[in-house]
Structure 1
Amino acid sequence: MDSSSSTPRAITGIVICCRPGFEKDAAAELTEYALIRGHAGYVTTTAESGFVVLNLDEECSFETINRNIRLAELIFARQLGFRFGTASHMPDDDRVSPIIELARCAPSRFSSITIETPDSDATKPLSGFCRRLSAPLGRAAEKANVLRPKRVHLPNLAILFIGQGKAFLGINSADNRSPWPSGIPRLRMPKDAPSRSTQKLAEAFVTLLSDTELEQRLRPGQRAVDLGAAPGGWTWQLAWRGLRVTAVDNGPMAASVMKTEMVTHVRADGFKWRPPSAVEWMVCDMVEQPSRIAALVADWVASGRCRHAIFNLKLPMKRRHEEIGRCRELIGQRFAKAALSYRLRLKQLYHDREEITGFLEAIR
C-alpha cells in the first residue's frame, strides 16, 4: 500500500473508465486533451481492462485539475476521477483500514463515497463486493472524520477497485462525474420497442443533455425526423416521448411503431429526402461512412431544417481518433460557411459498440 503521512496529498493522476477494447483510443484522447490544458504525463493501461490512467509529470491541486479536465468533453471516458493514492496488497479480511489511512491524507474531506469497478470481464465479479463494502467503509470514514455527509459542497471520494486487493483513490465533484456507477446508466428495455437500438437514443438523451436542456428542448407535440429509421427503434423512442415522427427508410417499419399513431413512414433515401418545413429534431442511425453522416447532419442543422440532432458515427476499426477529428472538421466547415456558432457533444455510450453518438445544435 502507498505510504501515508499527515501531509495532504496532491493529485498525481487522472483515472477514467471506458469501454473494454477502446483503451488505446481513450488513452490517446486523454493524453492529447490533458496536454492542451497543461497536464502532461504518461499513460498506463491494459487491453480489455476498461480503464486508463494518466500519470501526471507534475502534481497539482484538485481545484486546478477539476477545472481543466471535464468528463463531458471526453468522448471515450465513461467515468472520471483524480487520483491521489493507490491502495494495493490489501489484506482479504480488511480493506477498510488501508483505504481510511490513505483517505486521511486526501487533499479534501468528502461529502460522499462511491465504490466502483471498470466494466471488464476481470472486474465485473467485484461489483457485489463493492456494494457490501459501502456501509462499513462509510461508517469508518465518518468515525475518522474523512466523511462529512452534511457538507454537500465537499467533493466525492471516488474508489475504483481494479482487483481484489488494489484500488485507486481519487476525488471527483458532482458536476464532473457520471451519476451512474462506472458511468453506465441502467435502462430497462421497453417491451413494445421493436429493437434494442431504442436504448441508444434513450441513453443519448440522458447523457448528452442535462435535465434542464431536455425539458427545454424535448417536448411532446414536437416534430421529428428519423433518417434510416427501419425497423424503428429510434422512432419508437421519439413517439413514446410524445413527438410526431416522420420515419424515412425504404425498409419496413415494425408494427409496434406504427401502432403508436405518432409516425408517418416515408419510403425514401435518407440522404436525399428533405422535410417540407423545418422540424425540431432529426435523428440518424444509418450505417454509412462517418464523414458522410457528419456532413449530412451538419447540413441539416446549419441550414435550419432541424434545430437539434442526435446521430451515430460508425467508426473504422483503426485510426478512430483521426476519423473523429475529420468529422469535427467537416461539421466546423459547414457552420463556418453558414456563419453560425454551434454546440457539438460526442460520447461513446454504453449501448454503442464500434461507434460514438453525437448531439448537434446551432447557437443562433
Structure 2
Amino acid sequence: MTQPAHGMLAYCRPGFEGECAQELASHDARLATGGFVRSQRDSGFVEFVLPDASAANRFADSVRWQDLTFARQLLRVRARVAELPREDRLGVLMPAIRTMGHGYLDAWIESPDSDAARELAGLCRSLGNALVAAMKRESLIDPKSTCRLHVCLTDAQNAFIAEAESDRTCRWPGGIPRLRFPAAAPSRSTLKLEEALLTLLDADERERWLKPGMTAVDLGAAPGGWTWQLVRRSMSVTAVDNGPMDQKLIDSGLVTHLREDGFRYRPAEAVDWMVCDMVEQPRKVAARMAEWLAGGWCRQTVFNLKLPMKKRFDEVQLCRNMIEEAVATNGKRIEWRARQLYHDREEITVFARTA
C-alpha cells in the first residue's frame, strides 16, 4: 500500500531523534511551514510531516543537510509504503516511482543506523541492484538529472520513498562515510577529524586550507590521533598535552610536544589551524575556543563539544552564542558548521573560522 506524503526525512544517530526533531522544528518555526514530528526513540531517523506540497517545497528549498547539526542526511519524502510483499517488493515500488514524473541520477536503497534496521543491509544491497536495473530498463535513470532517489527501509515491509538534489545532500548512503582506521595512527579518534574534514569542508576548501607547510596547534593532543591527520598532510604541529605522545609522530620532525595545559596555552604567533578534542564541559571548551578565535590566534579550528545528558540542543545553541558574541566584540563574525559525526558519540564536532 502506497500513500503520497509531504515532508522531510532525516537520518540521525540513534538516541538523538529528539535533538534532530528540535532542529527541524526550529527551521519550521522560522519558515512558518506548519510541520510536526513523527519519531521513535533509537530508530535512527525522524520524519517531519508538512501539511502540503507547497510547504514541503519551501522547507526543502530553504534547509540543506549542510545546515543541520544532528542530521546525517535530509531528504524530501514523496510517499510512504506499507506492507511491501516479500515476494515482489519492486512490484510495489516501481509504480510509485513512475508517478514521480522524472528520472533520477541514481537510486539508493538504505536503512537507518539502528540495531533493527542494520539487519536489513543485505536486503538493501540486493533490492538496490534490482531497483536500479528496473529503472534503467524504463529509462528512469538519467545521467543528466541532479536528483537522487532514496528508498529508506525502516523494516522489511515498510519504507519511505524520498528524493533530494545531489548537491544538497550527503554523498554517502545513510549519511555515513565508511572510513578505514589507518594502522599507523595512534588512536581511533583520528577518524573523527578525518570525517570532520571530509564532511564539514568541501573539496576546494580542503585544497586551499590544508596545505603542506601550514602550522597547527592540537590542544589535548595525546596520544596524537588528531595530530596524525595534520602530520599526514605535512603540516607543522604543536601538540599540547601533559600526557605522552606517540613516538613515531615525534620522530616525524613535524611535531613539537609541549607538556602544558590546553586550557592555558597561548601561541607566540597566530597559526593556520587549532584543533581540540579535550574531555571537558562544553561551555568551558566553547569559552576557550572563543578566546582563540576572538584573539586571532588561529585562522580556523575544528573542535568537539561533549554534550550533557539533557537539553543537548539548547547547550549547542548556548555554546555557539558564546563564541559568536566573543568574536563580535572584536568586530568579526563567525562561520560555524557543526555536525554529530558518525564517529562521534555523545558529542558534536564543529568547524569555525572568523570572517
- Both proteins in one fold, TM over 0.5: yes
Deviation for aligned residue 1:314: 0.4
Within a 5 Å distance, the mapping from 1:265-304 to structure 2 comes to: 265-304=257-296
Identity %: 44
CA contact (8 A) 2:38 2:49 kept: yes
**Cα deviations across residues 233-269 of structure 1 (Å, max 9, x unaligned)?**
1111111111110000111112232232210000111
Report the equivalent of 1:255. 247
**Cα deviations across residues 140-176 of structure 1 (Å, max 9, x unaligned)?**
223344x1323233x1111111010111001101111
| Letter of the 2:199 counterpart | T
Pair 1:31 & 2:16 matched: no
CA contact (8 A) 1:66 1:176 kept: no
Aligned mates of 1:179, 1:108 — CA distance in 2: 21
| Letter of the 2:178 counterpart | R
**Cα deviations across residues 98-118 of structure 1 (Å, max 9, x unaligned)?**
111111222643221111110
Report the equivalent of 1:110. 104
Report the equivalent of 1:198. 190
Partner of 1:75: helix, strand, or coil?
coil
Deviation for aligned residue 1:63: 5.2
Within a 5 Å distance, the mapping from 1:311-330 to structure 2 comes to: 311-330=303-322
Aligned mates of 2:143, 2:349 — CA distance in 1: 37
Aligned mates of 1:38, 1:97 — CA distance in 2: 38
Within a 5 Å distance, the mapping from 1:43-192 to structure 2 comes to: 43-60=37-54, 64-106=58-100, 108-145=102-139, 147-153=140-146, 155-192=147-184
CA contact (8 A) 1:313 1:355 kept: yes
**One of 212, 217, 227 as aligned partner of 2:219:** 227
TM-score (norm 2): 0.96
Aligned mates of 1:141, 1:202 — CA distance in 2: 35
Aligned mates of 1:56, 1:115 — CA distance in 2: 23
**Cα deviations across residues 32-55 of structure 1 (Å, max 9, x unaligned)?**
123212322111111111000011
Aligned mates of 2:144, 2:224 — CA distance in 1: 47
Aligned mates of 1:74, 1:282 — CA distance in 2: 23
| Letter of the 2:274 counterpart | M
**Cα deviations across residues 96-138 of structure 1 (Å, max 9, x unaligned)?**
1211111122264322111111011101111111111122211
Aligned residues: 355
Q: Which runs of 5+ in 1 are unaligned?
A: 4-8
The structure-2 alpha-carbon separation of the partners of 1:259 and 1:233, relative to structure 1 and needing over 3 Å to count, comes to same
Aligned mates of 1:349, 1:79 — CA distance in 2: 11
Partner of 1:350: helix, strand, or coil?
coil
| Letter of the 1:241 counterpart | R
Aligned mates of 1:158, 1:169 — CA distance in 2: 6
Aligned mates of 1:28, 1:150 — CA distance in 2: 36
Aligned mates of 1:183, 1:272 — CA distance in 2: 37
Partner of 1:123: helix, strand, or coil?
helix
Q: RMSD of aligned C-alpha atoms?
A: 1.5
Aligned mates of 1:46, 1:267 — CA distance in 2: 46
Aligned mates of 2:28, 2:122 — CA distance in 1: 33
**Cα deviations across residues 160-206 of structure 1 (Å, max 9, x unaligned)?**
11010111001101111111111111111111111100000000000
Q: Which runs of 5+ in 2 are unaligned?
A: none
CA contact (8 A) 1:346 1:357 kept: yes
CA contact (8 A) 1:37 1:69 kept: no
CA contact (8 A) 2:8 2:60 kept: no
| Letter of the 2:220 counterpart | G
CA contact (8 A) 2:270 2:297 kept: yes
| Letter of the 1:97 counterpart | G
**Cα deviations across residues 60-96 of structure 1 (Å, max 9, x unaligned)?**
2775333212111110100111101011101101111
TM-score (norm 1): 0.94
| Misfit runs of 4+, over 4 Å | none
Report the equivalent of 1:331. 323
Report the equivalent of 1:213. 205
CA contact (8 A) 1:62 1:171 kept: no
Partner of 1:122: helix, strand, or coil?
helix
User: Which is worse superposed, 325-334 or 64-73?
Assistant: 64-73
| Letter of the 2:154 counterpart | I
